[in-house]
Homo-oligomer: A and B are copies of this chain.
Amino acid sequence: MATPTSLRRTFSGRRVLITGGLGFIGSNLARALVALGARVTIVDSLIPEYGGNRRNLAGIAAKVRVHRTDVREHAQLARLIRRQDFLFNLAGQTSHMDSMTDPETDLEINCRAQLALLEACRLHNPTVRIVFASTRQIYGRPDYVPVDERHPIRPVDVNGINKAAGEGFHMLYSRVHGIRATALRLTNTIGPRMRVKDARQTFVGVWIRRLLEDEPLEIWGGEQRRDFTFVDDAVEAFLLAAARPEAVGEIFNLGGPPPVTLLRLAELLVEINGGGSFVVREFPDDRKKIDIGDYYADDAKIRKMLGWKARTDLKTALKRTVEFYRRELRYYV
């Protein structure tokens, strides 16, 4: 990722809080911020089913402060948020299936804790600059592709409903209370440090793991088209969104290289790995009800307003990810 001088000027010496900072995107963001000279504090619950992993800080552990705190512990939030210049708010429950089997936990984390965090900002640090990790999941099954930010919000699972509320609170606090927040609606983000244990973040992680363990990939459906953002590009979007005043109160889609079908993605992975196989399966019934079909983002808004773009093509993104897990898989399974 490029780290232009302007980003260094913005973040060097500044206090930055990252919720979910031991997770996939959060830890990559922490690494970038440490490189930019920021004073990074991480909050993470390290819930086993979520993305947090101490290994994600390998090489920078001495340079960041880590609080093992759950964002549901509302009373802790005030203390943590005070005196921070930036808040990257990435703590979340990400599994669509878990949100259906345990909807109340999803609500606590993705909805209620978000409101509590914003209240803590309003009361204790109203000038903090916030970037919130939202998700394409809130669009539901697209009316059209590519999906732009004006597409109706029509979530198809509990996770989508709660994330929509969480994003809504951020935008409302920006508009009404002057809390300077930006929301990024992420699509499938891939790269080093993604969860590979299971499909709770994205199915790509578990595909890579199976390839490396010499097991066949399982593809559900296969013809759905999806887009993928490489994590370094996503990190750059978070940094730009926090740095640019014109991003305050705005919502941006993140996209990536041109979308591909899941079948094509599997072929690419097998090719990069130099071998492997996959089986195509029918969607299980419980999954079919909340699947969204084709999705890919129109990210013209962030490209135009913030000059962001996805620098990493899909093959490179997958290659770097596979290479990372060739070395690191044992810390992630």
Number of copies: 2
Q: Are B111 and A107 in contact (CB under 8 A)?
A: yes
* Cα of A196 to Cα of B116 in the assembled complex, Å: 32
Question: Which of chain B's residues have a CB closer than 8 A to the CB of A111?
Answer: 107, 111-112, 165
Assess whether A156 is interfacial by the CB under 8 Å rule.
Answer: yes
Assess whether A109 is interfacial by the CB under 8 Å rule.
Answer: no
Assess whether A155 is interfacial by the CB under 8 Å rule.
Answer: yes
Question: Which of chain B's residues have a CB closer than 8 A to the CB of A290?
Answer: 176
Given A112-B112, A165-B162, are A176 and B100 also a contact pair (CB < 8 Å)?
A: yes
Picked from B115, B168, B289, the residue with its CB within 8 Å of the CB of A104 is: B115
Picked from B115, B161, B169, the residue with its CB within 8 Å of the CB of A169 is: B161
Picked from B100, B115, B172, B289, the residue with its CB within 8 Å of the CB of A107 is: B115
Assess whether A157 is interfacial by the CB under 8 Å rule.
Answer: yes
Assess whether A153 is interfacial by the CB under 8 Å rule.
Answer: yes
Q: Are A175 and B289 in contact (CB under 8 A)?
A: yes
Assess whether A299 is interfacial by the CB under 8 Å rule.
Answer: no
Given A107-B112, A119-B104, are A172 and B161 also a contact pair (CB < 8 Å)?
A: yes
Q: List 15 A-B contacts (CB under 8 A).
A: A100-B176, A103-B119, A104-B115, A104-B116, A107-B111, A107-B115, A111-B112, A112-B112, A152-B152, A152-B153, A155-B168, A161-B168, A164-B164, A175-B289, A176-B289
